[in-house]
Structure 1
Amino acid sequence: MRLVLLSLAAAGATLAATPALANEARVEARGGVIWNGSDSEAIAGVAAGYDADVGQKTFVGVEVSADKILTDHTRFAFGASARAGVKTGESGKLYAVGGYATKPFKYGEESFNLGAGYQHNFGKNFYGKVEYRHNFVGNGWTDTDVAVAGLGVRF
């Protein structure tokens, strides 16, 4: 767990220290739904990330996040993720994402996740995105799925 967070932090620091590859930093607010086989709840959160170009059509990035299931007895789940993808024209990015999140409630479990998303720019600094992730929980807990839509600002 700590090794994953440290690795992602080191990757982010390396990308940030490489101005020739600099593409964009971003912050966003997002909301959506989390579900397992029987229940679903609303979820909301914030994220900040940095993407760097790797060639003309591909990119890699890192992201940190804080998300909360909007029901009683939950807390913020903090996450760290990496993403990689392709640019779809001047305004879009299609990507795969994977990461780690802390437990969303006191007696829950931390999770690893994999997913995919699409980000579309609106003008020079604003973007919207849709994303799906599957959370691999383990330890007897049911895996969950998350679908979110987000709005953000690029720098």
Structure 2
Amino acid sequence: MRIALVSLAAVAAAAVATPAMANEARIEARTGLIWNGSDSDAVAGVAAGYDYDFGDKFFVGIEGSADKILTDDTRVSWGAGGRAGVKVLPGSKLYAAANWQSKPCRYCNSAVGVGGGWQQDLGQKIYAKVEYKHQLIGDNTPDADLGLVGVGVKF
């Protein structure tokens, strides 16, 4: 987890050093719940990303994440993915998202997540978001669902 925090701090420092643009970098802390048909557990993590504007209404973005299922015998699961969406209201983004997530435990499988979310500005630099992803795991392992809420800073 220390590696993830140091990496995200480096991304944030680089983002602060760049000139202001319509496109935006972001870093966030998030928490939520992961569940399958028989079990559910809490999740906590961090993410960093960059959104590219396409006109006034559309955007696409990339994201890296580090999340941990808060139970014994799990490890940090690293993720890489993207999102695409529309700016529906001032300071609001509605988006579809997809990512790849590394395995969260030694004998687990990696997953591909698909879903969507809503991001809402709480000020000029602060935002909150809610996100849902269905994780396609494969290998005869039940799929899982992930619900997240997060708070972040834009640069």
User: Under TM normalisation by the shorter chain, which class is it?
Assistant: 0.7 to 0.9
Q: Which runs of 5 or more residues in structure 2 are unaligned?
A: 1-14
Q: Quick one: distance in 2 between partners of 1:129 and 1:141?
A: 29
1:113 paired residue number? 113
Structure 1 ranges of 4+ moved more than 3 A: 19-22
Secondary structure at 1:95 match in 2: strand
Q: TM-score by structure 2 length?
A: 0.86
Q: How many residues align?
A: 138
1:149 paired residue number? 149
AA at the equivalent of 1:135: Q
Q: Quick one: distance in 2 between partners of 1:58 and 1:93?
A: 9
CA drift of 1:20 comes to: 10
Q: Which runs of 5 or more residues in structure 1 are unaligned?
A: 1-15
Secondary structure at 2:38 match in 1: coil
CA drift of 1:22 comes to: 4.6
Q: Quick one: distance in 2 between partners of 1:51 and 1:21?
A: 11
**Aligned ranges for residues 1-155 of structure 1 at < 5 Å?**
22-155=22-155
Percentage of matched positions with identical amino acids: 55
Distance 1:93 1:127, change over 3 A: same
Q: Quick one: distance in 1 between partners of 2:138 and 2:21?
A: 37
CA drift of 1:23 comes to: 1.2
2:8 paired residue number? none
RMSD: 1.6
